[in-house]
């Protein structure tokens, strides 16, 4: 293949999806440190958190929240909880909220291919040493924020509360929900009163 044609073919190659690592900032407060009784094996139900005020963002559509609740139930299961039996009341209620803000950012790739002028590429007879950045452009990033509170169903008392936030290359905060949940509930109940940064691997 002639060199100019090979160069154009490289530019047209599709991007390959790879796993990424998202840094999630997590803060948790709870009353579950030993010698407090363990919650392992207790049943739990996931509900949307009530809006904090009249100016709060609108609640997520039922279908969208249903997907979030299913993800939360899976992570709560890994933390030792179980779903309530059919027709039975849950021991605990997990109230969860997710919102975010998006913005456009411009990124210039540090990698470029130059042609002409002997600039790190093929000397294909094109003068001027023009460089073509690879992987740059404009993309949307979202700062997603999740909060979860676990309350005892019998008296509505709070026993655990956590908040997590992360910036991810997505236009939808729900796309970041799996990473936020893993960071929030990993090693449940986690250290109380500490702010940590947790690295979570995402799948392509």
> What's the pLDDT tens digit per position in 56-79?
555 556 777 889 999 999 999 999
41-103+141-202 belongs to CATH 3.30.230: no
> Over 70: is that where the pLDDT of 35 sits?
yes
How many CA atoms, within 13 angstroms, populate the side-chain half-sphere of residue 149? 11
28 close to 186: Cβ distance less than 8 angstroms = no
Q: Cα–chain-centroid distance for residue 24?
A: 8
Residue 73: how many CB atoms within 10 A of its CB? 17
Q: How confident is the model at residue 137, as a pLDDT?
A: 67
Q: Cα–chain-centroid distance for residue 169?
A: 10
Pairing of strands 44-48, 137-152: unpaired
Confidence class of residue 189 from pLDDT cuts 50, 70 and 90?
very high
Closest to 149 in 3D by CA, of 135, 139, 138, 164: 164
Structure tokens at 130: 């023009």
Q: Looking up tokens 């559509």, which residue turns up?
A: 61
Report DSSP state, residue 173.
Answer: G
For the chain, the structural domain boundaries read 41-103+141-202
- Maximum average pLDDT range among 15-24, 68-77, 96-105, 163-172: 68-77
Helical spans, DSSP H, in 147-198: 177-185
Closest to 67 in 3D by CA, of 150, 160, 173, 149: 173
Structure tokens at 110: 């540090």
11 close to 133: Cβ distance less than 8 angstroms = no
Pairing of strands 158-168, 44-48: unpaired
The Cα–Cα gap between 118 and 80 comes to 62
29 close to 195: Cβ distance less than 8 angstroms = no
- Maximum average pLDDT range among 3-17, 70-84, 90-104, 139-153: 70-84
The Cα–Cα gap between 150 and 156 comes to 9
The Cα–Cα gap between 85 and 91 comes to 11
């Amino acid at each position: 293949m002639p060199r100019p044609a090979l160069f154009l073919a490289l530019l047209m190659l599709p991007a390959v999806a790879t796993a990424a690592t998202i840094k999630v900032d997590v803060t948790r407060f709870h009353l579950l440190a030993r010698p407090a009784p363990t919650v392992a094996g207790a049943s739990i139900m996931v509900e949307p958190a009530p809006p904090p005020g009249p100016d709060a963002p609108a609640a997520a559509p039922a279908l969208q929240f249903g997907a979030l609740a299913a993800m939360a139930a899976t992570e709560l299961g890994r933390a030792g909880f179980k779903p309530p039996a059919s027709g039975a009341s849950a021991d605990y209620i997990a109230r969860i909220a997710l919102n975010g803000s998006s913005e456009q950012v411009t990124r210039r790739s540090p990698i470029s291919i130059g042609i002409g002028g002997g600039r790190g590429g093929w000397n294909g007879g094109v003068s001027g040493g023009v460089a073509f950045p690879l992987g740059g452009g404009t993309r949307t990033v979202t700062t997603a924020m999740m909060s979860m509170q676990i309350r005892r169903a019998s008296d509505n008392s709070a026993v655990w509360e956590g908040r997590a936030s992360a910036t991810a290359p997505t236009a939808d905060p729900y796309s970041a929900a799996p990473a936020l949940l893993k960071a929030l509930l990993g090693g449940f109940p986690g250290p109380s009163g500490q702010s940590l940064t947790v690295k979570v691997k995402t799948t392509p």
